[in-house]
Amino acid sequence: MSTEMNRKKLEVILDHLVDSVESTPAEELFAEAARSGQDTTQVATRAKDSLLKGIREFEQRKLHAARSAYRARSSELRNRRFTLPATADERRKLLFNSAQNNRLVQRVTARFRDLTELSDEDVDSALEDLMELGAFDEEDTQTDDGKS
């Protein structure tokens, strides 16, 4: 008799054992195990703990993925801010120049009647809003109408 045949026989035995548990109603299985002195509460508690742990870990993985995405986005925005010109005059110049040839900038600055009357804080705030909207992301490739 070949070893391979015996290996198959072993698998058949194990499969039948699994099938027998799967096809037995839970109450019957439970009652018989309790009668035979098995610690049924320990088995049930362990199974419940494992299932609840699986749910908890699934939720944590989802939360972790959302946090990672949020951090990546925040980091990206922070990095953009670092590219702002160093002085208030240079920042104002950037806003004026952009307002002349970038449609998106024109739309955002339209609420101001006269750009020259903006305070330095207003200029910084407008530039930050524009950066978050991606107005300067592809400035090199944009045409006058803001299209790539």
Partner 1 sequence: MKEAVGSPGKAERIAAPEEVRAAVSSLSEAQLFKLGQLAAMFAYRLGRRPGSPDEDDLLQDAITRILDGRRKWKPGRVDLVGLIAGTLRSITSEILEQRKHQPKTVLECDLPQLDPNEQEITLIQMTADHRPNIEHELMLSEQTTADQLLGQIEGLFSDDALAGLILSEWIRGSSGTEIMGAMGLSRQEFDTAVRRIYRTVRGHWPEGMPDVH
Binding residues for partner 1, per CB under 8 A?
A: 1, 3-4, 6-7, 9-10, 12-22, 24, 26-33, 36, 40-41, 43-48, 50-55, 57-59
Min CB(42)–partner 1 separation in Å? 9
Within 13 Å and on the Cβ side, how many CA atoms surround 66?
Answer: 6
By the 8 A CB rule, do 49 and 41 touch?
Answer: no
Quote the least distance from Cβ 35 to partner 1, whole Å. Answer: 10
Query: Between 10 and 72, whose beta carbon lies closer to partner 1?
Result: 10
CA–CA dist 13, 16 (Å, integer): 5
User: Rounded to the nearest whole angstrom, what is the least distance from the CB of residue 70 to partner 1 in the complex?
Assistant: 20
CB of 133 to partner 1, least distance (A): 28
Closer Cβ to partner 1, 29 or 84, answer by number = 29
- Cβ proximity to partner 1: between 36 and 83 the closer is 36
Of residues 46, 49, 44, 53, the one with CA closest to residue 26:
44
Residues in the chain: 148
CA distances, 76 to each of 82, 92, 102, 105, 134 (Å): 10, 23, 22, 20, 11
